[in-house]
Amino acid sequence: MATTGASTPRERYRAQVRTEITERAWEQIATAGASALSLNAIAKQMGISGPALYRYFASRDDLITELVRGAYRSLADVLGEASSTGADLAGLAHTLRGWALADPQRYFLVYGTPIPGYQAPEDTLATSSEIMTILLDACTALTPGNTVTAFGTHLEGHRDWAAGNPAPPEALHRFLTFWTRMHGVLSLELAGHFAGMDLDPVLLFAAELEDLLKPRS
């Protein structure tokens, strides 16, 4: 929760209205999906005229960009918080799951179907790295004594994305496995693909996590 420097009444008011706009925007996304986001609809819901929103966001794209930024930021914050209070990889996994379930459309805005042509703002790359770093460190804490896999060896030669993180190859491999497996279970669960199957998604999640935590051959 980064504190803004706002201090004058006007600045506080502006910040408050901006916040309300983004809240309404999230509500709308949850109801009809990100592509149905409409500035006029948000204004109507807030009881103000459409053009008034242009005092707060330069365009519709600008608002979406802000939402994307907020989603990344929120995930980085929640994982950072968990990690700094001692959570290990299993704890982070449950934090991630809680964050995803709290607002599925927020999860999908970041990790779901990309809108062809839409480019995420550059500064989300930094937040994305922040998230990876937290998870990668948790993987490093878990790997001592593991055998290096073939894929781990590949990664050792292609580790630019790890941004200087000294994680050993086993940790790099485990991080990717963690990411893709958690995403696999979560995204199918959130998309409702297990809905008619009468199975308990949390048990599947737990089983995948347990397998992930085992020492690797």
Chain residues binding a second copy by CB under 8 A are: 30-33, 35-36, 105, 108, 111-117, 125, 149-151, 154-155, 158, 160-161, 173, 176-177, 179-185, 187-188, 191-193, 196-200, 203-204, 206-208
Give least dist CB 123 to a second copy, A: 14
Are 215 and 145 in contact by the 8 Å Cβ rule? The answer is yes
Give least dist CB 58 to DNA, A: 7
Fill in the DSSP letter of residue 108: H
Give least dist CB 70 to DNA, A: 18
Give least dist CB 182 to DNA, A: 33
Structure tokens at 61: 């794209």
49 CB-near residues (< 8 Å, 6+ apart) = 43
Residue with token string 């460190």:
137
Q: Using the rule CB under 7 A, is 84 a contact of DNA? A: no
Are 173 and 156 in contact by the 8 Å Cβ rule? The answer is no
Q: Using the rule CB under 7 A, is 10 a contact of DNA? A: yes
6 CB-near residues (< 8 Å, 6+ apart) = 12, 14, 15
101 CB-near residues (< 8 Å, 6+ apart) = 190
Q: Using the rule CB under 7 A, is 52 a contact of DNA? A: yes
Under the rule (CB under 7 A), what is the footprint of DNA? 8-10, 13-14, 17, 37-41, 44, 48-52, 54-56, 59-61
